[in-house]
Amino acid sequence: MINFCTLFDSNYLTRGLALNNSLANVCPSYHLYVIAFDDNCYHYLKQANLPNLTPISLKDFEDQQLLAVKPTRSIAEYCWTCTPSTILYCIETFKLPSCTYIDSDMIFYRDPAILFDEVQNDSVLITPHRYTSQYDQSATHGIYCVEFMFFRNDEQGMIALRWWRERCIEWCYDHLENGKFGDQKYLDDWTSRFQGVKVLQHEGGGLAPWNIQQYVLSTVDNRLQVRNLRSGKSFPIVFFHFHGLKFYTDEMVSCSGSLYELKQQVKDIIYVPYIKELLSLAELLKSRGIGFNVSGARQPSPSKNATFFQYLKELSIFILKGRISPFNLAIYNYKRHYHFYKNQAFH
């Protein structure tokens, strides 16, 4: 049995359901624990009574330490703050021998057991960003990504997990300060700070918009794999992280927030099926009378121009925070992979 945990609210409900569907398709024995970050999300998951999924309400999850810092954090910052607490809560509450945190905006294409084979006798597994050189944000956002993290319920695993929880409660914000950024920069020195920490080597785990440029996609026996352009080695795709995917309307979506250039092959093979599934799940939820924002989409804009202006507004925020440089690259990316219309991507 592989024990996973994650957290999301109703705006990410379709993504969480897609994540669970993918695990059900490829993982013979798993359980997913979900911290539901609002009541709508919790009640839906509770009533759905999905096999292999246990929803947990915020009132059951939050302790006094988390509640004390909650007013000082944005919604995103508070989610980051809660990540180590999510893992610790699941291990302690359900007496788990181990638990792996996974982001809710991921899809598994192969049984992740192949990744856990690397752990052997170690207590912690962390996943490197493996940034493509032009997108390397290691100095500001960390060497490792809080997307797939294994903790064993033993002395070394709990020492690292409790230390991380304490640090995130002390400081967890969406800016760089004294070598810290969110919950993520804390991981930079774990291989020397703690014993029993393993860095994931399998390149089929941790694929994301910031590193997919290093690979060529192919299909072998109807299963996806990637070939590293530099080493020539091929790996089965175990999971892909759809970070930055953003709906502006049901007809317009940005694959990666225009932060990363994506080849058409990647959009066609990886993104389009995922977008279709999210929209299908959104329609399913609507048919069941779920009245909240089920696709993670913004309210539809009155015109495409209005959506474009919203995009430029957000782009300017990224530029001010130093996340995009130069400006013309961002506009180039916008033209390349911002527009997805129903007749192109959703049918």
- Name 199's bridge partners: 126
pLDDT of residue 299: 35
* pLDDT average, residue stretch 297-303: 37
pLDDT of residue 321: 44
* Cα 105 from Cα 234, distance rounded (Å): 24
Residues above pLDDT 90, as percent of the chain: 74
On the question of pLDDT at 339 being above 50, the answer is: no
On the question of pLDDT at 302 being above 80, the answer is: no
Higher pLDDT, 327 or 55: 55
* pLDDT average, residue stretch 290-309: 46
Residues above pLDDT 70, as percent of the chain: 82
* Cα 310 from Cα 331, distance rounded (Å): 14
Query: The tokens 């069941």 sit on which residue?
Result: 288
* pLDDT average, residue stretch 306-321: 49
The model's pLDDT over 231-276, given as tens digits with 9 standing for 90+, comes to: 999 999 999 999 989 887 656 778 875 688 899 899 999 999 999 9
pLDDT of residue 175: 95
Of 127-136, 227-236, 325-334, the range with the lowest mean pLDDT is 325-334
pLDDT of residue 317: 45
Other beta carbons within 10 Å of 119: 17
DSSP secondary structure, 91-150, as one string:
HHHTT-SEEEEE-SSEEE-S-THHHHTTTTT-SEEEEE----GGG--HHHH-SEEEEEEE
pLDDT of residue 293: 52
H or E stretch covering 162: helix 155-170
pLDDT of residue 294: 44
pLDDT of residue 144: 98
| pLDDT bracket for residue 313 (50, 70, 90) | low
* Cα 18 from Cα 13, distance rounded (Å): 9
Domains in the chain, start-ordered, CATH in brackets? 2-199 (3.90.550.10), 246-345 (no CATH)
| pLDDT bracket for residue 111 (50, 70, 90) | very high
On the question of pLDDT at 326 being above 60, the answer is: no
Q: What is the mean pLDDT of the chain?
A: 86
Of 71-85, 115-129, 262-276, the range with the lowest mean pLDDT is 262-276
Note whether 119 and 112 are within 8 A (CB): no
pLDDT of residue 112: 97
* pLDDT average, residue stretch 291-304: 42
| pLDDT bracket for residue 219 (50, 70, 90) | confident
Query: The tokens 């804009």 sit on which residue?
Result: 301
The model's pLDDT over 4-45, given as tens digits with 9 standing for 90+, comes to: 999 999 999 999 999 999 999 999 999 999 999 999 999 999
**Which residue stretches of 218-338 are H helix?**
264-266, 272-287, 304-320, 327-337
